[in-house]
Amino acid sequence: MERYKEIERSIIKKYRKDIWSKFIKAITEFQLIQENDRIMVCISGGKDSFLLAKCIEELKKHGKFYFEVCYVCMNPGYNELNRNIILENAKILNIDLEMFESDIFDIVSDVDKSPCYLCARMRRGCLYNKAQELGCNKIALGHHFNDVIETTLLSMFYGAEVKTMMPKLHSENFEGMELIRPLYFVREEDIIAWSRFNKLTFINCACRFTEACFFDSNTTSKRKEIKNLIKDMKKTNPNIEYNIYKALDNVNLDCVLGVKKNKEYESFLNYYTD
């Protein structure tokens, strides 16, 4: 059996409970993919997006309705080694990958304040433009369950607001375009286990800021801080991640000071009676 077929089989068989079933649950529960959709799967080069590509490929092969998929990698300025690793993994996984170039890393490399935020926004804009060019109505990203939890805490601790990473959302600037996150329920530890089981090696973010954080122990990204915090909290409460997620699905509006809807703020005092 060719290697890519063994990798596909591992998703359906060995990791059926931890990956495939959770992928299908998100697709079904949040209605992420409909018949005749044309989806651009965005591959960054990491384990998450490559797994997403294989899951969607399997769904297309064995699903109950027709939809179209294209697999795209935006090169924001990877070095030659990382670029080659991405292309080689696409071959190993039998993914028909299109790579297009941009200079985002060069643009954000001199930014001192929030380089990751700026990079993410610029990447998103490039991807929306590419999806529009390809005639797609949806963009699929490889964010997983742990990303959702970490983003929630980042918003609270550094953004002073309670919000989370949504399983799908409409683009504000590209009419008719929708972003979906089919790995919403899949945990990072299971993605790591899948990649190790199949002896796959993927790149990480691979930007200059991330590399600086890796080599300089005094430099830590906000997301890494949150990861470490959750790791410590799990020692005394193993369910901490699920509880954080569930809290966002169980908001008691009778016990919050204020809420925002469509960018309009309302205080609890508007409804409080003496």
Query: What percent of the chain clears pLDDT 90, i.e. is strictly above it?
Result: 75
Reduced to 3 states, what is the DSSP secondary structure of residue 47? Answer: helix
User: In whole angstroms, what is the distance from residue 195 CA to residue 66 CA?
Assistant: 28
Residues 216-259 pLDDT 10s: 444 467 888 999 999 999 999 999 999 999 999 999 999 999 99
Predicted TM-score (pTM) of this structure: 0.90
CATH class of the domain defined by 3-211: alpha beta
Minimum mean pLDDT among 50-64, 71-85, 113-127, 167-181: which range?
113-127
pLDDT in tens, 31-46: 999 999 999 999 999 9
Q: What's residue 216's pLDDT?
A: 46
DSSP codes joined into one string, 177-234: -EEE-TTTT--HHHHHHHHHHTT--------HHHHHHHH-TT---HHHHHHHHHHHHH
Residue 102 scores a pLDDT above 90? no
Question: Residue 260 forms beta bridges with which residues?
Answer: 265
Q: Are 242 and 187 in contact (CB under 8 A)?
A: no
- Hey, is 167 helix, strand or coil? coil
What's the pLDDT band for 209 if we cut at 50, 70, 90? Answer: low
pLDDT average, residue stretch 52-78: 94
**Domain spans, the chain:** 3-211
Q: What is the pLDDT of residues 129-165, one digit of tens each?
A: 999 999 999 999 999 999 999 999 999 999 999 999 9
The b/e string for 196-211 (b: 16+ C-beta within 10 A; e otherwise) is eebebebbebbbbbbe
**pLDDT of 220:** 60
Percent of the chain with pLDDT over 70: 91
**262 SS3 class:** coil
